[in-house]
């Protein structure tokens, strides 16, 4: 047992919530070890949020250039790739400097539990280390799922990871999955010169949203030249991505292309962690079971981020850090009743917080709904970005805002304004009657909230 190194805090995985807490504890003088396979800073910086939004910005620039001079437009995927690598490497460097400055022990390798709060690490440069912690935090995240469609895995499909590494524009790209990752990637590659087809099994893309939102996204994509096939399931894939692929569909048609990209959900990275030896329970999906304090079934063992079932957003993982910081210091912060916004970086942009009409109906909550087209917002007209709308959900018997959805330019920023009102529990009338600078996109909130129907009797 003498070869086991002891730390007060051990982190398995270096995603947003975990790395933030590790840095803070180490800076405060605690003994901390962070085990990471190699993605310094976590998946957000390396293969998810940051590179994908960098790609989307390059695609947006290309789209503007094509709109201004269509005859001379020539997409440059290599330039987009180079920009991604520059942005990612800069942020990785910032994170590494923070790690070093904090003084925690960064262990690069693959960790697996061998006993409660004890992890053996196969080091990237050879050899092993075994560490134990008074407190242990599991922060391993998720990976892209590959559905069990015959021939799909053999076709060597792209996931978002490989798509962000490509230096050549796919000629004809088939995207399996019309969720948020699939839609962002579809529009970006279309703007960079790909012919794109999106396949979605449900009746609409973005199926967590209200039908009017999903239909507006579908309309915008189709107007831009992207093919959307909904209500169809891929049943077989033939060929190899990068040269030729053919996808047979449930309606007995087929789609062909040069590349295939899978964006059909996420799988938690828990199967090879030895969680049974750690005494940590998982559910049928492999997600670690936690309570509202993020505590697992094992003593002094916690889970953070997507692997704990936290909504799959970096900002949600960061709030897990706040919860755990509070718990370690005897505070009472939990994950209960969190208000988590999100955005999808397509054009028109989607922003959402709280309930939508579908949620309210499923929960049996009586609501008032108001909707405003972006054509009514002066700044949207000046920007030439009039697609989409704002929609608010207000309690039927009080003036509390229960949710807000916006499909339109700068939607994510406008959502933040509504979020502040919801946190403060302001009545919708306070926002309706506030003085918002003209002409801002958020000025549309004044106009939208004027349309809220009167209270139910």
Report the phi/psi class of residue 342: left, alpha or beta, with left for phi > 0 and alpha for psi in -120 to 50. Answer: beta
From the list 256, 234, 218, 261, the residue with the least C-alpha distance to 388 is 218
CB 267 within 8 A of CB 286: yes
CB 167 within 8 A of CB 242: no
Catalytic residue among 6, 63, 160, 438: 438
User: Measured between alpha carbons, how far is 16 from 44 in angstroms, rounded to an integer?
Assistant: 8
CA 94 to chain centre: 22
Q: What angle do CA 355, 357, 362 make, to 5 degrees?
A: 85
Count CB neighbours of 350 within 10 A: 27
Torsion of CA 3, 4, 5, 10, to 10 degrees: 150
Residue 23 class from Cβ within 10 Å (0-12 exposed, 13-18 middle, 19+ buried)? buried
Residue 276 class from Cβ within 10 Å (0-12 exposed, 13-18 middle, 19+ buried)? exposed
Q: In the structure encoding, which two tokens stand for residue 135, read together?
A: 């407190």
Q: What angle do CA 235, 237, 238 make, to 5 degrees?
A: 145
Contacts of 392 (CB under 8 A, 6+ apart): 369, 370, 401, 403, 404, 418, 428, 448, 449, 452
Contacts of 431 (CB under 8 A, 6+ apart): 401, 417, 418, 421, 445, 446, 449
DSSP per-residue string spanning 82-128:
HHHHHHHHHHHHHHHHHHHHHT-EEEEEEEEEEETTEEEEEETTSSE
Q: Is position 160 annotated as part of the catalytic site? A: no
Helices (H), 270-402: 275-278, 314-328, 357-363, 378-382
User: Measured between alpha carbons, how far is 411 from 402 in angstroms, rounded to an integer?
Assistant: 17
User: Measured between alpha carbons, how far is 446 from 303 in angstroms, rounded to an integer?
Assistant: 41
Question: So which residues are the catalytic ones?
Answer: 438
């Amino acid at each position: 047992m003498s070869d086991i190194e002891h730390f007060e805090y051990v982190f398995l995985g270096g995603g947003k919530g975990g790395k933030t807490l590790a840095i803070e504890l180490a800076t405060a003088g605690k003994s901390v070890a962070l085990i990471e396979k190699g993605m310094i800073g976590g998946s957000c910086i390396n293969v998810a949020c940051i590179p994908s939004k960098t790609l989307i910005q390059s695609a947006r620039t290309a789209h503007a250039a094509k709109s201004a001079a269509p005859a001379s437009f020539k997409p440059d995927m290599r330039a987009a790739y180079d920009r991604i690598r520059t942005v990612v490497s800069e942020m990785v460097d910032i994170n590494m400097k923070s790690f070093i400055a904090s003084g925690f022990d960064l262990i690069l390798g693959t960790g697996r539990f061998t006993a409660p709060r004890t992890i053996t690490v196969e080091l990237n440069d050879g050899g092993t280390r075994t560490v134990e912690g008074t407190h242990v935090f599991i922060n391993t995240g998720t990976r892209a799922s590959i559905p069990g469609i015959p021939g799909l895995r053999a076709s060597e499909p792209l996931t978002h990871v490989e798509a962000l590494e490509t230096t050549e524009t796919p000629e004809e790209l088939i995207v399996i999955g019309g969720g948020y990752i699939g839609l962002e990637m579809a529009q970006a590659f279309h703007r960079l010169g790909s012919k794109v087809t999106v396949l979605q099994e449900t009746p609409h893309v973005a199926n967590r949203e209200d039908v009017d939102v999903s239909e507006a996204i579908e309309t915008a994509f189709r107007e831009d030249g992207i093919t959307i096939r909904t209500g169809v399931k891929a049943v077989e894939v033939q060929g190899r991505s990068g040269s030729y692929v053919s996808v047979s569909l449930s309606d007995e048609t087929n789609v062909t292309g040069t590349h295939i990209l899978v964006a059909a959900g996420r799988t938690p990275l828990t199967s090879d962690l030895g969680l049974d030896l750690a005494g940590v329970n998982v559910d049928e999906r492999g997600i670690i079971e936690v309570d509202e304090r993020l505590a697992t079934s094992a003593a002094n063992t916690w889970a953070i981020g997507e692997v704990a079932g936290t909504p799959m957003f970096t900002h949600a993982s960061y709030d897990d850090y706040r919860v755990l910081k509070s718990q370690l210091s005897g505070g009472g912060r939990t994950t209960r009743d969190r208000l988590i916004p999100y955005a999808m970086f397509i054009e028109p942009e989607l922003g959402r917080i709280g309930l939508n009409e579908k949620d309210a109906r499923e929960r049996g909550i009586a609501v008032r709904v108001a909707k405003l087209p972006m054509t009514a917002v002066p700044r949207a007209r000046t920007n030439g970005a009039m697609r989409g709308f704002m929609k608010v959900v207000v309690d039927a018997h009080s003036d509390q805002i229960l949710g807000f959805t916006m499909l339109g330019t700068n939607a994510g920023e406008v959502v933040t304004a509504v979020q502040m009102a919801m946190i403060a529990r302001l009545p919708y009338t306070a926002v309706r009657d506030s003085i918002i600078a003209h002409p801002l996109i958020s000025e549309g909130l004044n106009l939208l909230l004027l349309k809220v129907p009167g209270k139910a009797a």
